């Protein structure tokens, strides 16, 4: 993501808009680029608040928008593109959770000027660490190739643009040494072939969990837009109206029975999860009351493909029993 921002042209002192519900590497990449972050609120289905985006996009000197399709929730991309066009915003997509997903039959990652896919262990393709960029901009990808550490060997890059594109860049773009090595690439290539099949397997589990969670009193999964072809590699639900203490008790009882849920309402960053208030290296970030209200009751669970449908069924039984016991 850092290379995507740099290759797109983000400069120190620029401002990058970003939805406040995302993961730590996203603000981290923005900070690394030297830019300031302007967080945008979210709405009840966990996607970005398009009204807040519109207001913040209208500010002078705002040119960049890093949209994180966090936990695979895809907002109305038609509205996003319209808004980007109206405000001359350059869109960069974080597709860490939408590899294989579509909005209205168009692949996630094909909307922005550049899109970032992670291949870290818990993503849709796994090379341990690493990731890749997609773009149809020859200049941008030539920069990314040199930034990533091709040295003057970029001719060997199998998906490079025409050699002429590199002519003006070769001595103007530094080497940041962020290459993907051949070993990781070799691990990923066979996974690419089975990606669609894996996505179907995730969605089978997701749809079952979603349907059963929605039957439990006090638990709601968000309504998803029919144009969204998501990849259900994780599931989120809201314990609407519950206070922190009740939610903590709920999480503890689930964990005691082996169901580990994450909670975005935690005041302290824990494990992979952190709320925007803990990105204190940016200085004081403005409070987003709506995002705070939504994150305060949001629970999250990964859906590894090692879970069988029977495992999912057992998880539901456990959550159902705990909910009955705890939620009022």
Ligand X SMILES: *Cc1c(COP(=O)(O)O)cnc(C)c1O
Residue whose CB is less far from ligand X, 21 or 307: 21
Question: At its nearest, how many Å lie between ligand X and the CB of residue 129?
Answer: 7
In the bound state with ligand X, the residue whose beta carbon lies nearer, of 151 and 272, is: 272
Q: What is the Cα–Cα distance from 328 to 324, expressed in whole angstroms?
A: 8
What does the per-residue mask of binding to ligand X show for 42-81, with x meaning CB under 6 A? --------------------------x-x-----------
Stretch that binds ligand X, among 8-16, 92-100, 195-203, 220-228 (CB under 6 A): 92-100
CA pair distance 133, 246, nearest whole angstrom: 42
Of 232, 165, 240, 163, residue with least CA distance to 201: 232
Rounded distance, CA 61 to CA 246, Å?
Answer: 44
Tell me which of 96, 213, 221, 323 binds ligand X, using CB under 6 A.
96
Least distance between ligand X and beta carbon 108 (Å): 12
Q: Which of 5/26 has CB closer to ligand X? A: 26
Residue 43, judged by CB atoms within 10 A of its CB (0-12, 13-18, 19+), counts as middle
- Smallest separation (angstroms) from ligand X to the CB of 273: 10
Instruction: Find the part of the chain contacting ligand X (CB under 6 A) among 19-27, 98-106, 182-190, 218-226.
Output: 19-27
Distance CA 33, CA 6 (A): 7
Least distance in angstroms from the C-beta of 128 to ligand X: 10
Closest CB to ligand X among residues 4, 84? 4
Our CB check for ligand X shows the closer of 198 and 253 to be 198
DSSP string across 125-163: S--SS-EEEE-S-HHHHHHHHHHHT-GGGGGG-TT---H
Question: Does 265 interact with ligand X (rule: CB under 6 A)?
Answer: no
For the CB of residue 68, give the shortest distance to ligand X in the complex, in Å. 5
How many other CB atoms sit within 10 Å of the CB of residue 306? Answer: 6
**Contact region with ligand X (CB under 6 A), list: 17-25, 83-91, 104-112, 276-284:** 17-25
Helix (H, G, I), strand (E, B) or coil at 37: strand
In the bound state with ligand X, the residue whose beta carbon lies nearer, of 41 and 94, is 94
For residue 67, the SS3 value is: strand
Per CB under 6 A, 30 contacts ligand X: no
> Under the criterion CB under 6 A, does residue 131 sit at the interface with ligand X?
yes
Residue closer to ligand X, measured from CB, 26 or 89: 26
User: Rounded to whole angstroms, how far apart are CA atoms 219 and 294?
Assistant: 13
Residue partners of 146: CB distance under 8 A and separation at least 6? 154, 166, 169, 170, 173, 174, 175
Among 7, 19, 22, 47, binds ligand X (CB under 6 A): 22
Sign of CA dihedral 109, 113, 118, 119: positive
Residue ranges binding ligand X (CB under 6 A) = 22-23, 25-26, 68, 70, 94, 96-97, 118, 120, 131
């Amino acid at each position: 993501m850092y290379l995507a921002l740099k290759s797109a042209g983000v400069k120190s002192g620029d401002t990058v808009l970003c939805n406040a519900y995302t993961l730590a590497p996203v603000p981290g990449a923005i900070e690394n680029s030297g830019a300031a972050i302007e967080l945008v609120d979210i709405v009840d289905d966990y996607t970005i608040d398009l009204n807040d985006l519109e207001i913040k996009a209208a500010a002078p000197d705002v040119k960049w928008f890093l949209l994180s399709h966090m936990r695979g929730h895809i907002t109305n991309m038609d509205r996003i593109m319209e808004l980007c066009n109206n405000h001359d915003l350059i869109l960069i997509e974080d597709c860490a959770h939408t590899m294989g997903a579509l909005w209205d039959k168009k692949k996630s990652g094909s909307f922005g000027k550049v899109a970032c896919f992670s291949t870290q262990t818990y993503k849709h393709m796994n090379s341990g660490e690493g990731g890749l960029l997609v773009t149809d901009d020859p200049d941008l990808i030539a920069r990314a190739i040199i930034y990533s550490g091709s040295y003057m060997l970029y001719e060997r890059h199998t998906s490079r643009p025409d050699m002429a594109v590199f002519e003006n860049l070769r001595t103007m773009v530094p080497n940041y040494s962020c290459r993907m090595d051949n070993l990781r690439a070799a691990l990923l290539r066979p996974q690419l072939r089975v990606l669609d099949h894996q996505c179907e397997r995730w969605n089978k589990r997701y749809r079952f969990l979603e349907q059963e969670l929605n039957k439990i009193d006090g638990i709601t999964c968000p309504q998803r837009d029919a144009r969204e072809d998501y990849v259900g590699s994780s599931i989120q639900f809201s314990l609407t109206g519950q206070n922190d203490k009740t939610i903590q008790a709920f999480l503890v009882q689930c964990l005691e029975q082996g169901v580990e849920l994450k909670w975005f309402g935690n005041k302290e960053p824990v494990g992979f999860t952190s709320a925007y208030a803990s990105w204190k290296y940016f200085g004081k970030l403005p409070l987003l009351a709506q995002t705070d209200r939504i994150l305060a009751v949001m629970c999250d669970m990964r859906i590894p493909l090692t879970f069988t449908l029977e495992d999912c069924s057992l998880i539901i039984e456990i959550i159902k029993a705990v909910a009955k016991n705890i939620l009022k």
